[in-house]
Amino acid sequence: MSPTALDNFINNEHVKPVHGHYFDTFDPARGVPHAKIPDSTKEDVDLAFAAASKAFKTWSKTSRVERARIMNKIADLIESRLDEFARAESKDQGKSVELARTVDIPRAAHNFRFFAGRILHSVDEAADLAGVGFSYSQRMPIGVAGLISPWNLPLYLLTWKIAPCIACGNTAICKPSEFTSLTAYMLCSVLQEAGLPAGVVNMVFGTGVGAGQAIVEHPRIPLISFTGGTVTGAKISSVAAPMFKRLSLELGGKNANIVFADCDFELALKTSLRSSFANQGEICLCGSRIFVERPIYEKFLAGLVQGAKGLKVGDPSLKDTNLGALVSKEHWSKVMSYVQLGQEEGGKIECGGQKPVSLQGEFQNGYFLEPTIISGLTPTCRTMREEIFGPVVTIFPFDTEEEVVGYANDSEYGLSCSVWTENGRRARRVASEIEAGTVWVNTWMARDLRMPFGGMKKSGVGREGGNHSLDFYSELKTICLAD
């Protein structure tokens, strides 16, 4: 079967790229092409901008009630096609169908429901300046937003951007990852069926160099939301900052998982296993540096290794599969290079580090890797400091609270951290000292969309979620009426 050819989605129509060029994207589990992606350029972005700019004139004046109605309809339609979206997400990204069905796709629908409700129940500020007048704030849509999303949680993170963007009255040009464009393409038919007006959301597929850079450099796109690597984020910032574009950058992470001896051992072990290897470790919030208090270190290491060896790697369509394939051959090679580096730096491979030999037949060329645990490294070595973004974690013992806080904070990144302890005072004390945008205590990946989300240091710029998303996607104006 020849690969499916996708087209751009501009002004509610499927449009071939201006120059007619496409490239292959691969099924990670089989290592074969399964779709052809438009190799879009500046000319395609210009067409999308013309459509989005025209649509902004009416969408920005559409009532919140009507915007919310359409967004809830989008959520309904995503949910009605749950299994179809989950299978496509798995084939495109390599993750298990079960993970996509229970996490990625439901959360994509929830993004639309949440922000549909948020705009109906948000309250702006008002103040009486006695003897002078009365002031109030007003949220104004900004214009055409450039939304660039990553390949690890494709539909989930794309809708995390689209939902608040259009809820606030903006229009959008979206550039999904060139590795995972299929569910974004499927979303286009959902937007049409839900009755979203033409030009409000446009999809321009392609590479970062071709389509992404054109979006960032466009002189009339005032807002950029990007999720991806820190190096790319720095390049975007260098272009966008002199143009005074509004920026939200969610970038890399090298997150610490701190396990104290007084933790709920079984819960900490079970959740650490999940936070290490969920989605093949291809989640920016995964806990890739595990620090364990010395009295329970050996026991915890043994339990973690046993648990990792019990995880099933293979056919993403099977319900009992825990880890699917890494997203691309290039990324698989990068992750494997860190496994080799870890050994060169003196680390011991406690388990994993290889492609499963049991995978043959249609999966023999897939980009699979066993869950890998490396011990014996120092906190300052590259393997423990650089983002790997795969099913590879390091584990290291510590003796004191002060020591482990120092280890956790000695990083260029600051996205998240998990702390495991039954001591409430210690939990609050450590959480307040950790330099990360999110600190989970005795849990992981508990996301509350009402709360701010973002990173510190090289993990990003800005906060989104709840009113923070409304602030980012709106221009706040103060109006003062004289007495």
pLDDT in tens, 290-349: 999 999 999 999 999 999 999 999 999 999 999 999 999 999 999 999 999 999 999 999
What value does the mean pLDDT take over residues 203-227? 97
Q: Examine the pLDDT at 416 and tell me if it is beyond 80.
A: yes
Give the pLDDT score at 2.
Answer: 59
The predicted model gives 459-481 an average pLDDT of 92
Residue 209 has pLDDT above 60, yes or no: yes
> What does the pLDDT look like over 100-130, one tens digit per residue?
999 999 999 999 999 999 999 888 888 888 8
Mean pLDDT for the chain? 96
What is the Cα–Cα distance from 293 to 407, expressed in whole angstroms?
12
- Cα separation, 190 vs 364, whole angstroms: 35
pLDDT at 128: 87
Tell me the Ramachandran region of residue 72: left when phi exceeds 0, alpha when psi lies from -120 to 50, beta otherwise: alpha
Read off the pLDDT of residues 360-380 as tens digits, 9 standing for 90 and up.
899 999 999 999 999 999 999
Q: Within a 13 Å sphere around the CA of 199, how many CA atoms are in the beta-carbon half?
A: 17
pLDDT bin (cut points 50, 70, 90) of residue 1 is very low
Do 36 and 323 meet the contact criterion of CB atoms below 8 Å apart?
no
Q: How far apart are CA 214 and CA 57, in angstroms?
A: 23
Task: Dump pLDDT digits (tens) for 424-433.
Answer: 999 999 999 9
Whether residue 54 has pLDDT greater than 50:
yes
pLDDT at 140 over 50: yes
DSSP category for residue 209: I
Helix, strand or coil for residue 150? coil
Q: What pLDDT, in 10s, does the model give residues 64-105?
A: 999 999 999 999 999 999 999 999 999 999 999 999 999 999
Query: Which uninterrupted H or E stretch holds 407?
Result: helix 401-409
* Average pLDDT of the residues in 223-249: 95
Pairing of strands 144-148, 171-175: parallel
Domains of the chain and CATH, by start: 4-251+460-482 (3.40.605.10), 255-456 (3.40.309.10)
If one counts every other C-beta atom within 10 angstroms of the C-beta of residue 132, the result is: 11
Could you list the active site residues?
Answer: 250
